[in-house]
């Protein structure tokens, strides 16, 4: 009898508790009936919906940002505020810049990969690295050296494409571009030759490990259990640790090689290499800088993600856009042909006769054309520059960029943000907003960047592919130089066709790369 009463009492308490929980959840949902953001639940916030849409996160956000210029997404341990209005972007990137650092949360997510490198730190450590890197990027020696390196590797890529065209062989052009930009940044940034674009396309364990690590640290932003998995060394975090070992082995080898070369090199100034790593190694000799091999490791990996991934991803999307917009391909080709004839006349040289079926004459002509390309001459190619910029508008290399919030603040549109949360501006969505770009915002139209056939830029708070304010990308000119060098050669001498049935979609990582690569066939052009 006592047991029955106890069970009856317990059942009653559970019933009341269940009713209270359901009532709480119903009230919570009722209060959100006019909310334009994602559905949220007590304790979970919007984590469930965000996780279910993780594979299409950028388009999931786009849907909500089409309804409202600011979207608030509560999560279990923080709140994300996503913005697409240039006024709000200017506020966090410039007007109230000190209140929106990378922040501790972002640093904790990315530290295993980027450490205390320039893209993952704030304050004095960030300022010191930026000052050094800015000095190097402003150097004419580095610019001229970069142009030679970018030309060299663009020609190596051209050789591979010529061979593929001979055998009607399918190639993953994104994979080839990743190899080209990795070789380039290692040569320009670190003064070493790694040969991933060699004719036999050797297996590249570093690149594979780097991509894996990049995807896993991106997942941390919405995975509330990543610290537990890291502690238990299980699942994605176990794979991350294996990838980091491969990455570190490569990186420390690069540092050791460069240090050895510097020690063995003659001391005459004209023999010293002008790569970025050498500059940081030189600074490390000053004990006041506290630069260790770990510091140099972080420098290397931050410049790899900046110089390899972003550029290769943009080049891939640009080739895809050219393939799927024939009028753009024709306009780029026409500009390059005219440029070639004008430059040859200026240099007083005769263009070599070539025919696509004569491989030797074709390759000589490609090389001759490449020698006409340098930093100054490439600046004449306004339509090519516009085509690349339009690609970045719709397919920005960094599709989202989160910032921490130090103190409570109010954005220009009236949105309140709380200390400890994160505010993320979303270049992927911003480029597709009619209130930013007009009724044809989703259309690929390079002409929007030209006035009387001359390129004109937009506000960096509207076109945010290179960020803005104090943290604006230092490597913008270098990135355009490499992209224009490569695309001038590729679009002048090759026509690409998408392999039938190949699906083009993005992969969720910090960089907007293609999930399945970009498989194409290649034909030579006269």
Q: How many structural domains are present in the chain? A: 1
Residue 17 is assigned to a structural domain of this protein: no
Pick from 10-24, 218-232, 425-439, 441-455: least confident: 10-24
What is the per-residue pLDDT across 93-109, written as a single tens digit (0 to 9) for each? 999 999 999 988 888 99
- Say whether pLDDT at 422 is over 60: yes
Measured between its terminal Cα atoms, the distance across the chain in Å is 97
> Whole-number mean pLDDT of the chain?
88
Residue 31 is assigned to a structural domain of this protein: no
Annotated binding site: 473
Annotated binding site for heme: 473
Residue 426 is assigned to a structural domain of this protein: no
Which band of pLDDT confidence, cut at 50, 70 and 90, is reported for residue 20? Answer: very low
Give the Cα separation of 394 and 51 in Å (integer): 24
Domain encompassing residue 442: 100-396+431-524
Give the Cα separation of 517 and 59 in Å (integer): 19
Residue 348 has what pLDDT?
92
Residue 525 has what pLDDT?
93
Residue 385 is assigned to a structural domain of this protein: yes
Tell me 83's DSSP state.
Answer: E
Handedness of CA 393, 398, 399, 404 (dihedral sign): negative
Give the Cα separation of 497 and 320 in Å (integer): 9
CATH number, domain at 182? 1.10.630.10
Non-local CB neighbours of 12 within 8 Å, separated by 6+ positions: none
Give the Cα separation of 460 and 458 in Å (integer): 6
What is the per-residue pLDDT across 78-88, written as a single tens digit (0 to 9) for each? 889 999 999 99
Residue 260 has what pLDDT?
85
3-state helix, strand, coil in the chain (%, to 5): 60, 10, 30
Residue with the larger pLDDT of the pair 154 and 135: 154
Asked if residue 417 lies in contact with residue 81, where contact means CB atoms within 8 angstroms, the answer is yes
Other beta carbons less than 10 A from residue 188's beta carbon:
27
- Say whether pLDDT at 511 is over 80: yes
Asked if residue 179 lies in contact with residue 210, where contact means CB atoms within 8 angstroms, the answer is no
Predicted TM-score (pTM) of this structure: 0.88
Asked if residue 253 lies in contact with residue 300, where contact means CB atoms within 8 angstroms, the answer is no
3-state secondary structure 449-504: HEECCEECCCCCCCCCCCCCHHHCCCCHHHHHHHHHHHHHHHHHHEEEEECCCCCC
Q: What is the DSSP string of 353-410?
A: P--TT-HHHHHHHHHHHHTT--HHHHTT-HHHHHHHHHHHHHS-SSS-EEEE-SS-EE
Pick from 146-155, 214-223, 263-272, 281-290: least confident: 263-272
pLDDT > 70 in the chain, percent:
91
Residue with the larger pLDDT of the pair 136 and 452: 452
Residue 266 has what pLDDT?
60
Residue 404 is assigned to a structural domain of this protein: no
- Say whether pLDDT at 298 is over 80: yes
Which band of pLDDT confidence, cut at 50, 70 and 90, is reported for residue 14? Answer: low
Residue 423 has what pLDDT?
96
3-state secondary structure 141-206: HHHHHHHHHHHHHHHHHHHHHHHHHHCCCCEEHHHHHHHHHHHHHHHHHHCCCCCCCCCCCCCCHH
Give the Cα separation of 244 and 435 in Å (integer): 42
> 471-479 long-range contacts, Cβ below 8 Å, gap at least 24?
471/93, 471/97, 473/306, 474/130, 474/133, 474/134, 474/137, 475/137, 475/306, 475/307, 477/137, 477/143, 478/137, 478/143, 478/146, 478/188, 478/307, 479/307, 479/310, 479/311, 479/314
Pick from 40-44, 431-435, 484-488, 504-508: least confident: 40-44
Residue 1 has what pLDDT?
53
Residue 464 is assigned to a structural domain of this protein: yes
Tell me 512's DSSP state.
Answer: -
Q: Calculate the CA dihedral of residues 494, 499, 503, 504 and round it to 10 degrees.
A: 0
Residue 9 has what pLDDT?
53
What is the per-residue pLDDT across 441-485, written as a single tens digit (0 to 9) for each? 999 999 999 999 999 999 999 999 999 999 999 889 999 999 999
Residue 21 has what pLDDT?
44
Residue 88 is assigned to a structural domain of this protein: no
Residue 75 is assigned to a structural domain of this protein: no
Which band of pLDDT confidence, cut at 50, 70 and 90, is reported for residue 23? Answer: very low
- Say whether pLDDT at 314 is over 90: yes
- Say whether pLDDT at 230 is over 80: yes
């Amino acid at each position: 009898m006592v047991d029955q009463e106890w069970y009856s009492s317990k059942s009653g308490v559970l019933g009341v508790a269940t009713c209270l929980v359901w009532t709480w959840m119903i009230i919570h949902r009722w209060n959100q009936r006019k909310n334009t953001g994602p559905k949220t639940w007590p304790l979970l916030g919007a984590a469930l919906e965000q996780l279910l849409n993780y594979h299409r996160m950028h388009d999931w956000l786009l849907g909500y940002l089409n309804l409202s210029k600011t979207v608030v997404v509560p999560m279990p341990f923080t709140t994300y505020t996503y913005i697409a209005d240039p006024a709000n972007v200017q506020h966090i990137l410039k007007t109230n810049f000190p209140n929106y650092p990378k922040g501790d949360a972002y640093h904790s997510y990315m530290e295993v990969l980027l450490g205390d490198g320039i893209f993952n730190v704030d304050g004095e450590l960030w300022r010191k690295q930026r000052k050094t890197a800015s000095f190097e990027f402003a150097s004419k020696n580095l610019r001229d050296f970069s142009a030679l390196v970018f030309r060299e590797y663009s020609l190596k890529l051209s050789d591979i494409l010529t061979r593929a065209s001979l055998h009607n062989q399918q190639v993953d052009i994104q994979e080839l571009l990743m190899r080209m930009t990795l070789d380039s940044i290692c040569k320009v940034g670190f003064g070493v030759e790694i040969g991933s674009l060699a004719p036999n396309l050797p297996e590249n364990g570093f690149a594979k490990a780097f991509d894996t690590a990049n995807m896993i640290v991106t997942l941390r932003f919405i995975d509330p259990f990543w610290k537990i998995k890291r502690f238990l060394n299980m699942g994605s975090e176990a794979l991350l640790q294996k990838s980091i070992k491969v990455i570190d082995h490569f990186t420390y080898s690069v540092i050791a090689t460069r240090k050895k070369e510097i020690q063995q090199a003659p001391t005459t100034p004209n023999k010293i290499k002008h790569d970025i790593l050498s500059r940081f190694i030189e600074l490390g000799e000053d004990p006041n800088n506290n630069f260790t091999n770990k510091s140099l490791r972080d420098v290397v990996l931050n410049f790899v993600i900046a110089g390899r991934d972003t550029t290769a991803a943009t080049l891939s999307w640009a080739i895809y856009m050219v393939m799927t917009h024939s009028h753009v391909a024709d306009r780029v080709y026409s500009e390059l042909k005219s440029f070639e004839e004008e430059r040859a006349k200026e240099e007083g040289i005769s263009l070599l006769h070539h025919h696509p079926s004569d491989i030797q004459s074709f390759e000589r002509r490609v090389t001759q054309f490449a020698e006409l390309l340098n930093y100054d001459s490439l600046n004449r190619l306004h339509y090519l520059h516009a085509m690349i910029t339009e690609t970045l508008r719709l397919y920005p290399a960094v599709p989202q960029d989160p910032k921490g919030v130090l103190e409570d603040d109010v954005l220009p549109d009236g949105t309140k943000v709380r200390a400890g949360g994160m505010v993320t501006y979303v270049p992927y969505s911003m480029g597709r907003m009619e209130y930013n770009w007009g009724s044809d915002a989703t259309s690929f139209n390079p002409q929007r960047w030209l006035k009387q056939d001359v390129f004109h830029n937009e506000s960096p708070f509207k076109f945010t592919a290179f960020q803005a304010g104090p943290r604006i990308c230092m490597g913008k000119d270098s990135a355009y130089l490499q992209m224009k060098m490569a695309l001038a050669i590729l679009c002048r001498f090759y026509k690409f066709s998408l392999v039938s049935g190949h699906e083009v979609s993005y992969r969720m990582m910090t960089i907007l790369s293609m999930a399945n690569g970009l498989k194409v066939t290649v034909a030579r052009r006269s």
